[in-house]
Amino acid sequence: MLAAHHITAFVTLLLSAPVAFAAQQTQGIDEQAKLPYWEINDKGMSLRLVQRLPVQSRAFFLARGFSKAQVERVANNCIFQTVFKNTSQQSTPSVLEYDLRDWKVTTGSKSSDMKIREDWIKEWQSIGVAKSQVIAFEWSMYPTAQSYKPGDYNWGMSDFDLRPGTKFDLQISWQQFGQSHRAVIKNMQCAADINPQPAEAQ
């Protein structure tokens, strides 16, 4: 028979263990970006990841004073537009917390970390990028860790540290309703390095 303190420890372990679940995953073309997106929804949360073309990154950061060589460092990575929402106000309100340092990128049998804004800041500082440009870059990237109240959301660029066109799975995690949650977004793909032309007028 288990002692009372053993039972208490066992219950605590169960409550603190990550919860894996079959969240609803959808894929399509984002209406505004006109590019593929991957989205996952569950009670209290919504996460949409939309492809960004390398040419978009080039234009965005050239306009903020980065050199062509510096811009290529970003363009040769896998950048997505990220929109993360706490939707719990629609049912049972609960704070949502996340930390991108806990997320994992899987390609084949290899698992790796995302390239977060702190990694980029160190890289820019090491090659002497101006402080004003570093700040502009920092604000464009999705925050590494945040806490969202019910109804809160945020957006920004996320870097999965892969080459354009790479296919991968993304394991995400967050804390909500007093538990740790995780899910895997399957069969994502980085945008290819292409330069599409505007559609001809009808």
Query: What per-residue confidence (pLDDT) applies to 7?
Result: 37
- Predicted local confidence at residue 199, as pLDDT: 54
* DSSP label of 49: E
* Structural domain of 44: 15-189
Q: How confident is the model at residue 84 (pLDDT cuts 50, 70, 90)?
A: very high
Residue 127 falls inside a structural domain? yes
39 pLDDT above the threshold of 70: yes
Look-up: residue for tokens 């994502």? Answer: 188
- pLDDT at site 4: 45
Segment 42-68 shows an average pLDDT of 96
CB 190 within 8 A of CB 51: yes
Can you give the pLDDT at residue 161? Answer: 97
Token pair 């892969």 is found at 162
Confidence tier at 80 by pLDDT (50, 70, 90): very high
In a domain, 198, yes or no: no
Determine the Cα angle at 95 with ends 90 and 98, to 5°.
115
Evaluate whether residue 99 is within a structural domain.
Answer: yes
The DSSP symbol for 64 reads T
Percentage of residues in the chain having pLDDT higher than 90: 84
pLDDT digits (tens, 9 = 90+) for 116-166: 999 999 999 999 999 999 999 999 999 999 999 999 999 999 999 999 999
Q: Is residue 74 part of a domain?
A: yes
Q: What mean pLDDT do residues 98-115 have?
A: 97
Q: Does residue 196 form part of some domain?
A: no
Distance CA 168, CA 160 (A): 9
Answer whether residue 16 shows pLDDT above 50. Answer: no
**Residue 11 is encoded by which pair of tokens?**
């219950």
Flag whether 4 is in a domain: no
Residue 8 forms part of a structural domain: no
**How many structural domains compose the chain?**
1
The C-alpha atoms of residue 137 and residue 147 are separated, in whole angstroms, by 21
Other CB atoms within a 10 A radius of the CB of residue 76 amount to 14
Residue 200 in domain: no
Beta carbons within 10 angstroms of residue 58's beta carbon:
18
